[in-house]
Amino acid sequence: MSIQFTAVFRKVPQGYIGLVEELPGANTQGATLDEARANLEEAIQLVLEANRALAEEELKGADVIREPVHITA
């Protein structure tokens, strides 16, 4: 599966701050642009995993339908 997000990096005195426009909470920093990029990939994975776990906990025991969603943007 391939999903594309928009990463935004801003230069600051300590290095770079990175965030994902489409995914609130996915943000990070790094001393170099490459470090910020790598950290942002990890932040994206962590946010998606945390959101999935929160949803599963909230819906525990409920009668729900789960199915994949494919989008083209």
The percentage of residues in the chain with a pLDDT greater than 90, rounded to a whole number, is 86
Asked, for residue 2, whether it belongs to a domain, the answer is: no
Sequence length of the chain is 73
Domain of residue 17 covers 7-58
The pLDDT, as a whole number, for residue 70 is 81
Asked, for residue 13, whether it belongs to a domain, the answer is: yes
The percentage of residues in the chain with a pLDDT greater than 70, rounded to a whole number, is 97
Which run of H or of E encompasses 30?
A: strand 27-30
Q: Quick one: average pLDDT of 26-33?
A: 98
- CA dist 46 and 25 (Å) reads 10
Provide the domain count of the chain: 1
Asked, for residue 73, whether it belongs to a domain, the answer is: no
Q: Residue 40 pLDDT > 80, yes or no?
A: yes
Query: Judging by beta carbons within 10 Å of its beta carbon (0-12, 13-18, 19+), is residue 64 exposed, middle or buried?
Result: exposed
Asked, for residue 32, whether it belongs to a domain, the answer is: yes
Asked, for residue 1, whether it belongs to a domain, the answer is: no
**Max Cα–Cα distance, the chain, nearest Å:** 51
Q: Which amino acid is at 64?
A: V
